Structure 1
Amino acid sequence: MQEAKLRWVNLGVKIRASRERAGLSLEELAKRISLSPTMLSAMERGIRGIKRDHMERIDRTLGTGGALASAWDTSSDSGLPLWYREGAKREKAATEIRNYHPLVIPGMLQAEDYMRALLIAGLPNESHSRIEELVRGRLDRQVILEGERAPRLLAVLDGGSLRRPIGGRETMRKQLVKLLESCDKPNVTVQVIPYETEYHPGMSNAFTLYAIPNSGWLLYTETRRVGYPTMDQDAVDDYQRAFSDLMAFGLPPAASRRLIADIEGEFS
């Protein structure tokens, strides 16, 4: 409960600071976003929960460029971003995970130095301690691939992601070694779409599909600011077809492993 209260207090402080910078009274802002002054006051003081919709409305009214909605997205009761926390729940519940990324190695298969380099590049204003907290969170999530009840992971990678030296050549070499180790796990299948492929149906965005017992398939996509989980059947079916097509474009697992090993040798 104390962690949840801290979240609302922190978000309330951000709302009040943004309102005061805009030169609006509490009553003026409440009227513009169609809330009662009492409710807005409670939100600013952190004594009630805050919906993302509230943050979006305040952003639009104050012209803060989505900063408050982004603060809501990246806060949680535990101190880790919501997409980390919710992602961990989905992964623990899933019996099968189908993952595709056109640009980088997926998080479940990332080596520590590689993920740290990605986080530093993607979050340049975060403190060192915060980056390390996120690294630990991502490493903890990888544990689900171990043990008797580990989910099956099917990952399709674009060949370009194997050659982009994120973090430098040595960091990338270690990442490829980690990927080779993952290929040897009985519950992990990795396929690589060769870099020479002129076109394939996954050049637009990354996505993940989770098979959740007693619920069906859940689709997860994300943007720079927020993730979108959905069980809408039309969307799930569309991405299931896309994943099947991507697997058809990829090399078989054994050939994919040989390709990864060859590229790792180039970085050695």
Structure 2
Amino acid sequence: MESSDGVDEPGWDVDPEDEISSAVEMVGQQLRLRREVAGLRVAEFAELIGYGEDLVRKIERGARIPRPEYLDKVDEVVGAGGFVSALKKPMREARYPKRVRELAKLEERAVELHLYNNHSVHGLLQTEGYARALFGMRRPAYSQDEVERVVAARMARQSIFKRSPAPEFSFIQEEVTLRRPLGGRQVLRQQLERLLEVSQLRNIEIQVMPISCEQHAGVDGCIEVLKFGDGTAVGRSEGAFSGRPVSELKQLRVLELRYGIIRSQALSPPESLAFIEELLGET
């Protein structure tokens, strides 16, 4: 698991320790074979598809994940009849950072998600504009390609809301995350509107932890607890167990205790909805 405020290190190169690397290498080999069968040397092939020789070589040896438009161009040049273009889906998934893919798999299995955030709006609730602003202000700065990559990964995770049967969600957001105008007032306004929209779903509860609260069980940082249909669970907190994901009952009990207390200290869902509506009116 990763904190939804956290960002995996982006980049288009393949991580050799990522299990997806073997699939990328296989695709690279297929592309090389199709080029060779077409009787094209790397230099002339690169010129025909409009990409640099260095990039072609990296992709063919599995060191770089090909973009969808690259695959479409290769398909056209070698006359693959759509077979190369069909590789876009697995390669698109491979573009997502390893930990994002792992987190998405856990979220796909979860029947309950308990999520407390204190730095920004939780990733599953973020609008595209808010996510782009959030990643765009990270330092060291990401390139525009890198920003688009992690934004796409974050938006893809939100398909969880369309699952059937739908999992149960409990979100707790610090008041400050709903007031801080990351990306500007308009971005914040759209984000607040998104929260109000999502809160109408019957399987989602959003609560606000007000700044005025004098007792707070979440001072050690974000908490995430995901529960699965077989009775198992996994959790993570910045301030517990060195921030590592945990699944033992004794450790999970600590996270659930903290989350339960935060939930009781926060505004109720109806109070939180009214609070967000008031903030929207002020923005």
With normalisation by structure 1, the TM-score equals: 0.68
CA RMSD of aligned residues (A): 2.7
Match of 1:217 among 230, 233, 236: 233
Measure how far apart 1:227 and its partner are.
Answer: 6.8
Measure how far apart 1:228 and its partner are.
Answer: 3.0
Contact 2:95 2:149 in 1 (8 A): no
1:108 maps onto 2:130 in alignment: no
SS at match of 1:122: coil
SS at match of 1:247: helix
Match of 1:150 among 166, 176, 191: 166
1:118 maps onto 2:152 in alignment: no
Aligned match of 1:234: 250
1:182 maps onto 2:198 in alignment: yes
Change (3 A) 1:129 1:46: closer
Measure how far apart 1:105 and its partner are.
Answer: 0.8
Measure how far apart 1:82 and its partner are.
Answer: 1.9
Aligned match of 1:169: 185
What is the one-letter code of the residue matched to 1:209?
V
- Aligned residue pairs total 200
Contact 2:220 2:238 in 1 (8 A): no
Measure how far apart 1:196 and its partner are.
Answer: 1.4
Contact 1:207 1:220 in 2 (8 A): yes
SS at match of 2:137: helix
Once the two structures are superposed, residues 34-88 of structure 1 have per-residue CA deviations (whole angstroms, 9 ceiling, x without a partner) of xxxxxxxxxxx999xxxxxxxxxxxxxxxxxxxxxxxxxxxxx813222211110
1:98 maps onto 2:114 in alignment: yes
Aligned match of 2:156: 140
**After TM superposition, which residue ranges in structure 1, 4 or more long, deviate above 3 angstroms?**
2-9
Contact 1:99 1:209 in 2 (8 A): yes
What is the one-letter code of the residue matched to 2:96?
L
Aligned match of 1:260: 276
Identity %: 29
Change (3 A) 1:88 1:227: farther
Contact 1:220 1:230 in 2 (8 A): yes
Change (3 A) 1:119 1:148: same
Aligned match of 1:246: 262
Change (3 A) 1:123 1:222: farther
Aligned runs of 1:64-103 on 2, under 5 Å?
A: 78-103=94-119
Aligned match of 2:15: none
With normalisation by structure 2, the TM-score equals: 0.65
Report the Cα distance in structure 2 between the residues aligned to 1:95 and 1:259, rounded to whole angstroms. Answer: 28
SS at match of 1:229: coil
Aligned runs of 1:8-19 on 2, under 5 Å?
A: none
Match of 1:127 among 143, 155, 171: 143
Contact 2:118 2:173 in 1 (8 A): yes
Report the Cα distance in structure 2 between the residues aligned to 1:7 and 1:166, rounded to whole angstroms. Answer: 38
What is the one-letter code of the residue matched to 1:170?
Q
Report the Cα distance in structure 2 between the residues aligned to 1:123 and 1:182, rounded to whole angstroms. Answer: 30
Unpaired runs of at least 5, structure 1: 10-44, 48-76
Contact 1:3 1:78 in 2 (8 A): no
SS at match of 1:230: coil
Report the Cα distance in structure 1 between the residues aligned to 2:62 and 2:149, rounded to whole angstroms. Answer: 25
What is the one-letter code of the residue matched to 1:103?
H
Aligned match of 2:52: none
1:205 maps onto 2:193 in alignment: no
